[in-house]
Amino acid sequence: MPGLADRVDRSRIVAAGHSFGGQTAGILVGLRVKDPQTGVVEDLSDPRIMATIQLATAGKGGDELTPFAYENVPWLRDQDFSHITAPGLVVAGDDDHLPMLSTRGPAWTADPYTLSLSRKSLLTVHGGRHMLGGISGYEVAETTDEDPGRVALVQQVTLAYLRHVTGIEDTDWKTAQAVLAEAHPLGRLESK
């Protein structure tokens, strides 16, 4: 794109995505999935990606999938989070029930945090459903949990994380960690 050549720092690339976009971001840093047709598990990671932000993304498969998901979303059957080495921020809503995909409930979308061995942080959005308050855009009617406060929380924490993980600035991230480590009406932030 014109005008970006001098403004893009190719040494600081972060992949971010919502739902299956978050799963794609995970694949770019080492999440392994089995091709349902060939049975082959490939490493599709890209060493240029230094970190991820995964919002309301898929958890582990296997017996936690519904019969519908097992048949219609076969790439979720076998996921392996153990090869992820890049740091990341996982954002999950504590009311994100996905009854068509998982039998486990909202904790399923926190699996990229809990099952990864890498440095990760988890923002749990209180009352957040799959759209985390309406992150899909202005005047979009596809959210089930419209809440400007939740959207602002996700925006502020993800921006603070981006600035932190890329080495631009740490103050906002440290503030977010301190404020959201204790009881907060909008969410909780933890790191490992």
In a domain, 1, yes or no: no
In a domain, 7, yes or no: no
Could you give the number of structural domains in the chain? 1
Size of the chain in residues: 192
Which structural domain, as residue segments, surrounds residue 59? Answer: 13-191
Q: Provide the CATH number for the domain around residue 167.
A: 3.40.50
Does the global pTM surpass 0.95?
no
Q: How many CA atoms lie within 13 A of 59 on its CB side?
A: 25
Give me the tens of pLDDT residue by residue for the chain, a chain 192 residues long.
Answer: 677 777 788 889 999 999 999 999 999 999 999 988 899 999 999 999 999 999 999 999 989 999 999 999 998 998 999 999 899 999 999 999 999 999 999 999 999 999 999 899 999 999 999 999 877 666 666 667 788 899 999 999 999 999 999 999 999 999 999 999 988 999 999 999
In a domain, 8, yes or no: no
